[in-house]
Amino acid sequence: MSIVTRPSVGGSLVGGAIALPLNPCVHPTARLVASWTGEPDTAGTVAVVGAGKMGLPLAAQFATHGWHVIAVDVNEAVVAAINEGRSHVAEEPGLGEVVARVHAEGRLRATLDAATAAREADVVVLIVPVMLDAEHRPDYRYMDPAVDSIAPGIHAGSTVIFETTLPIGDTRRRFTPRLAAASGLEPDRDFFVAFSPERLFSGAVMANLATYPKLVGGIGPASTDRAARFYDSVLDAEVVAMSSAEAAEFSKLADTTYRDVNIALATEYARAADLHGIDVQEVIAAANSQPYSHIHQPGIGVGGHCIPVYPYLLLDRAPGLEVVMAARRVNDGQVDAAVAILDPLVGGLVGAPVLVLGLTYRDGVKELAYSRALPLIEALAAAGAEVWAHDPLLSAAEVEALGVRPYRWGEAGPFRAVIIQTGDPAFRGLDPAWFPALAVVYDGRNSLRELALPAGVAYVGVGVQASTRQRASA
């Protein structure tokens, strides 16, 4: 591919979803070298620290381009699976086949020993979580030990790249000094450090790696160049060499915070639509027909590892950003708003049986990270409701472990309210006749707007009106 200083893709979004074409692989067969220095059409050894749902696809991608890959993880079961040629990440299409192939070809192995892996590697890529503590501050409980674990193996010529989303300045000010102190080497001269944000979507990681431009920013020019050359050798997408690690860190925070703010704005539009009896999805579809408008969808809140977390990482280094903080309040406030709406519709939630459909943070992904189902269950229980739940991705035991009663799909139930928390397609098969006492369906993802309801059962969408809901959705 190519290394550029400005992305060549972008421009008009023409509303709605965005689907970019996959870039074909045009790399020649790489020549394996004992010490990789960035020479074109060569490959070396890379250690990927954190072999989870994003790290393992990265490891597999690097191996398909001729690199020898050492996956590093603290989980013995993960290491064992990789060393048997198996993917422990079940929800990623095509990943299992790639892992099996590159392992069989001798280009992928795994270890618990991060220091030895870093010592053997030309490049070390870290992709372990930085989440939030109880005060919404960055939580380094995984990243700090990961950095310390590789530090003894850093050697002259090492390139260390952080893919984990970080607060602005962490690559240079928090982590580079630790590596320099442990190794006794001079950063950007003896070894190289850069930040390159993962820009991946669960369930489409392998496609994303061949699609989205790869952003790279180093702590100095030599680090940027070495990291950009690495990605140019392993990815089929454009590589964007940015001016600094800080600019690259900010780019990921800007991207995800934009989505949080956009969703909050869509939620505010939904409230306005409710006031005037207008279907917000009709309005959004119409507005997005203008190519400068790309309004997202409202809902019962925002979950996942990224969007609820990264605005706080931005705020940690840029406090006082009012729009960013307001968006967080709006999106997190949707759960309490839903509970307040339901209470009078069921004649009071005290003692009312309520069914929550969808517990993961989004449909199709078996992850509970910051799922809005968890505060929703807490709020319903605090209001006195008796809560049941069902998710096609979770077993009855897994549902029960969340403190609610598991509901078996298709069985009769006493529920007064059904709340849709994820837009799983399976929920479209809901039959209101299963629940003779049903008073209301709260459609938190506007995904059941076509569902036929018997007389006397209320429908509440997020900016979708009972009077307009059975019109064609956007």
25 noted as active-site residue: no
Per the CB < 8 A criterion, the answer to whether 266 and 297 are in contact is yes
Please name every residue paired with 405 in a beta bridge, in sequence order, or none if there are none.
388
Sequence-separated contacts (24+) of 295-298 with Cβ below 8 Å: 295/262, 295/265, 295/266, 295/269, 296/259, 296/262, 296/263, 296/265, 296/266, 297/263, 297/266, 297/445, 297/446, 298/263, 298/266, 298/267, 298/269, 298/270, 298/446, 298/462, 298/463
252 noted as active-site residue: yes
Please name every residue paired with 139 in a beta bridge, in sequence order, or none if there are none.
131
Stated length of the chain = 474
Please state whether 207 falls in left (phi above 0), alpha (psi between -120 and 50) or beta: alpha
CA distance 238 to 396: 44
CA distance 443 to 346: 15
Catalytic-role residue among 25, 214, 252, 366: 252
CA distance 261 to 276: 23
CA distance 46 to 67: 7
Q: DSSP class of residue 425?
A: G
Those residues with Cβ within 8 angstroms of residue 118's Cβ, 6 or more apart along the chain or in another chain: 47, 124, 150, 151, 152, 153, 154, 158
Per the CB < 8 A criterion, the answer to whether 314 and 246 are in contact is no
Q: How many CA atoms lie within 13 A of 335 on its CB side?
A: 22
Please name every residue paired with 162 in a beta bridge, in sequence order, or none if there are none.
126, 195
Helices (H), 92-220: 95-104, 114-120, 143-150, 170, 176-183, 205-209
Per the CB < 8 A criterion, the answer to whether 171 and 193 are in contact is yes
Catalytic-role residue among 53, 214, 306, 366: 306
> 3-state class of 232 per DSSP?
helix
End-to-end CA distance of the chain: 37
For 448, other C-beta atoms within 10 Å of its C-beta total 24
* Residue 389 burial (C-beta neighbours within 10 Å; 0-12, 13-18, 19+): buried
* Residue 395 burial (C-beta neighbours within 10 Å; 0-12, 13-18, 19+): exposed
| Strand-pair category, 31-32 with 192-195 | unpaired
Residues classed as catalytic: 252, 306
